[in-house]
Amino acid sequence: MVSLNTHTTRKVLQRATMTLGALSLVLVAYGFSRGGFESMEGRLLPKHQMHRSEWVTITAAKVLSGSTIPAEREVMVHIPEEITRITRKVLFGRKGDTVRYWGYCFPQNIHDSSNNVRRGFPGDLFLSEAEREFRRQELIAQRRRTFSVFENLTAQDLNETRNRTQSRIRHQVEIFTGGNTCFVMTEKSIPVGADTDGDGLNNALERGYGSDNKNPDTDGDGILDGLEVFRMGSHPTKRDSDGDGIIDGIEDANRNGRFEPGETNPTQWDTDRDGLCDGLCKVNKGQDLRGEDKNLNGEYEPGSGEYNPRKVDSDGDGVLDEHEVFLCVLGGGDDC
């Protein structure tokens, strides 16, 4: 029987434990520098999304035609070679203001020596506006929790407090180019697609609205489809979104997608809220046509029997336009 010295055995075990601990730290550091998916998920997504999930690949062909990035999946998106450049907002359907998503794009030559010496991810990170705001609020809350006043507080103490709350994740990508491959995770599904006609509406959204992804102004009203959807709030397939008889591009005179002074609102049939529609609308169960801009040209022409759709009292006589129409009808007028 072989007997072991207890003191010697204890020292051997202590050294083995320290060695294994050091190896574990090395493996953790290596994992973070080479990938770090779990670490990134923990920082960027809610706890309920921190489990492992199936991988989804969205091919370049699917991006060209328009597709959807599903929620709570690890998604690889291949940017088509046909895309010269596309903004992050357009590529992901401008969902970043309300949806938390994040991802990173690999360099096209991942084996390049300059990439091999970089620490962390081999590509560049991007975060949605909602994700950046969430992280900003978390950092503010963390600073409030960690900071307190101590006696004999040193500069080193302050630096440690600052470093504990400083984010190591930075938004880097706003423009995507063809040939890139990007990893994406999102808390809610978001549309992804090319913008074939350059109207600011990606092909996934074009399909959803029923607009033509090869025509930047599907309804021919003079306003780009993307401006109608994201800025004006009108519909890209309806020339007269509010049904007041005036084409959207005439109401929005400079066609920039904004309702501004001197214009009528393409999304409201009665801009000045005087009870009369901006153009010509059916009233009395469709028996009569009444309105303010009777020739539907977007211009107020005094003396022609028109009223100004931007003012409740067009001629400034103290009688509201709606009441003048009522008096005209009572008097048996045929052009009220």
How does pLDDT run across 10-30, given as a tens digit for each residue?
454 445 444 444 444 333 333
For residue 151, the model assigns a pLDDT of: 57
Over its C-alpha atoms, the chain yields an Rg (Å, rounded) of 31
What is the C-alpha to C-alpha distance for residues 298 and 281, in angstroms, rounded to an integer?
15
Q: Which carries the bigger pLDDT value, residue 177 or residue 8?
A: 177
User: What is the mean pLDDT of the segment spanning 98-120?
Assistant: 72
For residue 103, the model assigns a pLDDT of: 95
Distances (CA, A) of 53 to 28, 126, 195: 21, 21, 29
Burial group, residue 229, by CB count within 10 angstroms (0-12, 13-18, 19+):
buried
Tokens found for residue 14: 């202590």
User: What is the mean pLDDT of the segment spanning 82-107?
Assistant: 95
User: What is the mean pLDDT of the segment spanning 86-93?
Assistant: 98
Distances (CA, A) of 99 to 104, 127, 225: 17, 10, 22
Q: Is the pLDDT of residue 310 over 50?
A: yes
Whether this model's pTM surpasses 0.85: no
Kindly provide the b/e burial profile for residues 238-273, where b requires at least 16 CB atoms within 10 angstroms of the residue's own CB. bbbbbebbbbbbbbbeebebebeeebbbbbbbbbbe
Query: Which residues have C-beta within 8 Å of that of residue 167, sequence separation ≥ 6?
Result: 135, 139
Residue with tokens 């066609």: 255
The per-residue pLDDT of the chain, averaged, comes to: 82
Kindly provide the b/e burial profile for residues 81-119, where b requires at least 16 CB atoms within 10 angstroms of the residue's own CB. eebeebebbbbbbbbbeebbbbbbbbeeeeeeeeeeeee
What is the C-alpha to C-alpha distance for residues 173 and 304, in angstroms, rounded to an integer?
56
Long-range pairs for 5-9: beta carbons < 8 A, 24 or more residues apart: none
Model confidence band, residue 34 (pLDDT cutoffs 50, 70, 90): very low
Residues 147-191 pLDDT 10s: 555 555 566 655 554 444 445 678 999 999 999 999 999 999 999
In this structure, are strands 55-58 and 74-78 parallel, antiparallel, or unpaired? parallel
Tokens found for residue 30: 């290596």
For residue 215, the model assigns a pLDDT of: 98
Residue type, 155: A
Look up residue 320 and give its DSSP letter: -
Indicate the range of 220-224, 318-322, 332-336 predicted with least confidence. Answer: 332-336
Look up residue 98 and give its DSSP letter: T
What are the sequence ranges of the domains in the chain? Answer: 37-192
Residue type, 117: V
Tokens found for residue 26: 């090395």
- 118 near 33, Cβ under 8 Å? no
For residue 181, the model assigns a pLDDT of: 94
Q: Is the pLDDT of residue 117 over 90?
A: no
